A = this chain, B = another copy of it.
Amino acid sequence: MVLVSTRNPLNMGAVARAMSNFGVFHLRVVDPYEVAFRRAKSAVGASELLANAEEFSSVADAVADCALVVGTTAVGPREVQHPVRSLEDGARVIRRKLAPAKVALLFGSEKYGLSNNDMSHCHWLMRIPTRAEHRSMNLGQAAAICLYELVRKGRPGGPIERKPVANAAEVERITTVLFDVLRFTRYWNPGSSKSTEEKVRRLIRRLHLEKGDAEVLLGMLRQVLWKVNVDSKK
């Protein structure tokens, strides 16, 4: 579980408690409101789980070692750029992945949810099927429902054999080298906007790169970057 920019210590505590209820023990926080984080950690009855929460300054760092990054959203598929799965479908996909690889589940701030930039690090989004007239859930409750659904016993039937997929750090490395290539080759104008970067970041995630393929592509991109660099200095 990754909490991004959470502000309310009670919510952090509630998430930690639900995690303990359902046997999920790794909590990471990104850019938390400092006072809230300290208060949550020192609250009476605060769990070991909360005390051991790891703090990161960016989503990229927090999900670096994860093979699948899933965001949560209260809004419908038409309002976001990402594929959106229902919690039930999404949880089924995550359960299939979980055994061999780390999966990050991201929750945004109480007020704004995940930003577009946060989401650009996600492979897809998951939505709890709340009523259209009152979509936005309390953070602690939303987390509890996701955890409940995630630990639900799966249907019988063996997992599908898959090649190991690239983790988020490997995918992000490709992304940043590609950004350099796009700048050097003037595919991007010097002042290219944040949203253009986010579009490309999302595109790269949609490729669901296998580990081996990610290495090959990174090698290609580095070679391109080197060549463009050398030539432009002639």
Contact = CB atoms under 8 A, between A and B. Distances in A.
Contacts of A92: 156
A52 interface: no
A217 B217 CA distance: 13
Kindly state the interface size class of chain A when it binds its partner.
35 or more
A70 interface: no
Contacts of A14: 138, 140-141
Copies of this protein, total: 2
A151 B152 CA distance: 16
A184 interface: yes
B219 A21 contact: no
A176 interface: no
Nearest to A216: B203
Interface string A186-199: 11000000000000
B227 A160 contact: no
Contacts of A117: none
Contacts of A86: 157
B145 A187 contact: no
Contact of A138 (B140, B157, B178, B227): B140
15 contacts: A10-B10, A14-B138, A21-B135, A22-B131, A83-B161, A83-B162, A129-B157, A140-B140, A145-B148, A181-B220, A185-B223, A186-B223, A200-B216, A203-B217, A207-B213
